[in-house]
Amino acid sequence: MCKVISVSNQKGGVAKTTTAGNLGIGLAKEGKKVILIDADAQGSLTASLGYREPDTLDYTLSTVLGKIINEEEWDPEEGILHHNEGVDLMPGNIELSGLEVSMVNVMSRELVLREYLDRVKENYDYAIIDCTPSLGMMTINALAASDSVLIPVQAAYLPIKGLEQLIKTIRRVKRQINPKLEIEGILMTMVDGRTNYAKEIMQLLQEGYGEQIRFFVNNIPFSIRAAEISAIGISIFEHDPKGKVAEAYRSLTKEVMAG
């Protein structure tokens, strides 16, 4: 059984893509078969895994979703890239933004990505979707196709304000489209543990949501080393295997596997 997890927050710059990539590779290191889905038109996950020019790729998520919308034949293997750290990737690029606009008139438009995943996921233990930083149609598609949502939140006031909107959207999708959708948990990212500010934010969040939503035990600390990895195309496990961020993502991987 493949578990589909969306990594979502409509606020950018919260280490969403870093989390999707490193969680996927962390699961692969634990012997799991993993596919990463880049559902963001910016193609950040694709670029951070070393495919520098996502917009030049011939076959991406947009290609296959376009075929599904037009009811054309498609091959579940086609377009999947194999990263040398043991994960597969369905890349994303700028074409997704055009596709999102054209989805408006499509029948069952919220379920296009689910149709793709239903055929692909039998080969995997986990599918991790890196969502776009908005609550548009691609994010709704991701939530409709997922078993759970992992929410990375930066320890700062503004990202917290957007959290309420995201949780409302998740609940609406659960009510109307995907009754099995759950919140995997809230993951605090880019945490500077030395400051009282970070501690205050975390306390505020726990008070606001702690009774309804699980918080991952391990936070992802702020680190320049983590910021460097997207420029090199490798995971934190390769770039700084003994560092505190790699250790935090290892712990997160184990928490996700424990369910």
pLDDT digits (tens, 9 = 90+) for 190-223: 888 778 888 888 888 888 888 889 999 989 998 8
Question: Higher confidence at residue 103 or residue 140?
Answer: 140
- Residues 82-90 have a mean pLDDT of 96
Locate tokens 């680190």: which residue?
Answer: 223
Domain harbouring 64, CATH code:
3.40.50.300
Alpha-carbon span 75 to 7, nearest angstrom: 26
- pLDDT tops 80 at residue 88: yes
Q: Which domain holds residue 20?
A: 3-258
In the chain, the number of structural domains is: 1
- Residues 241-246 have a mean pLDDT of 92
Least confident stretch, 25-29, 71-75, 232-236:
232-236
Q: Is the dihedral of CA 224, 230, 233, 234 positive or negative?
A: positive
The answer to whether 259 and 216 are in contact (CB under 8 A) is: no
DSSP characters for 166-220? HHHHHHHHHHHT-TT-EEEEEEEESB-TT-HHHHHHHHHHHHHHTTTS-B-SS--
- pLDDT tops 80 at residue 14: yes
Tell me what pLDDT residue 158 has: 67
- Average pLDDT over the chain, rounded to an integer: 92
pLDDT digits (tens, 9 = 90+) for 133-177: 988 899 999 999 999 999 999 877 766 777 888 999 999 999 999
Among 176, 126, 177, smallest CA distance to 150 is for: 126
